[in-house]
Amino acid sequence: MIPGEARYLESHEWVILGPDTGAATIGLSEFAVEQLGDIVFLELPAEGDEVQKGRAFGTIESVKAASDLYSPLSGQVIGVNQQLLDEPELFKSDPYGAAWMLKVKPADEKEFETLLDARQYQQYLKEL
């Protein structure tokens, strides 16, 4: 199930803007998790680091492949999911919840509107 409140990159990262905090939560879609298979390693930036929309911020490795992770928004990292680094199996059990990767203070929330919405992302997946 693809959350309607999230926006997506074609590289399968999702982002949800927090209504109260203004913080953006970034994760990896269920589709991407299924394609990767068993995830064995995750490299994420540190709190305080800057991420840029469309640029790689980390790496994810599975038994099948290694892939870069791309940021849907530009901004400063204000949270890193340490539990996910220790328990990458959370990607499979809760890709849109407990398996969030980063919390970012967006530099420009207007970037959110340029991303694929849930309907567009579902259509994109059908075309793959």
Is the pLDDT confidence value at 109 over 90? no
Does 4 reside within a domain? no
Confidence grade of residue 24 (pLDDT, cut at 50, 70, 90): very high
Domain count, the chain: 1
Q: Is the dihedral of CA 49, 82, 10, 19 positive or negative?
A: negative
Work out the burial of residue 27: count CB atoms within 10 Å of its CB; fewer than 13 is exposed, 13-18 middle, 19 or more buried: buried
What integer best gives the mean pLDDT of the chain? 95
Is the pLDDT confidence value at 19 over 90? no
Q: Please report, for the domain that includes residue 59, its CATH number.
A: 2.40.50.100
| Beta-ladder partners of 70 | 56
pTM confidence score: 0.95
Domain of residue 72: give its range.
Answer: 11-109
| Beta-ladder partners of 69 | 58
Does 3 reside within a domain? no
